[in-house]
């Protein structure tokens, strides 16, 4: 967690820690996985993400998040 008060984070345009979440109750979409991997949304990367989600499930996204 950040040592900065939430108001300072908001002023800097950073999402406050209290608002961050992984969406653990939702099933990740291929778009979620592509973006979490730092890649551009293209037909190729979306197909890669579909294959990963089919084989690994939610763990595919969890592996790429801090």
- Measured distance CA(63)–CA(58) in Å, rounded: 9
pLDDT at 18 over 80: no
Per-residue confidence (pLDDT) for residue 62, from 0 to 100? 86
pLDDT in tens, 23-36: 556 788 999 899 98
- Measured distance CA(4)–CA(12) in Å, rounded: 11
DSSP 8-state class, residue 26: S
The alpha-carbon radius of gyration of the chain (Å, integer) is 15
pTM: 0.61
- Measured distance CA(53)–CA(13) in Å, rounded: 31
- Measured distance CA(47)–CA(60) in Å, rounded: 14
């Amino acid at each position: 967690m950040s040592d900065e008060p939430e108001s300072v984070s908001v002023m800097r345009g950073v999402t406050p820690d209290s608002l961050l979440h992984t969406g653990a109750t939702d099933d990740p979409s291929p778009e979620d996985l592509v973006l979490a991997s730092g890649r551009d949304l293209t037909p190729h990367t979306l197909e890669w993400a579909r294959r990963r989600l089919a084989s690994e499930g939610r763990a595919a996204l969890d592996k790429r998040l801090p």
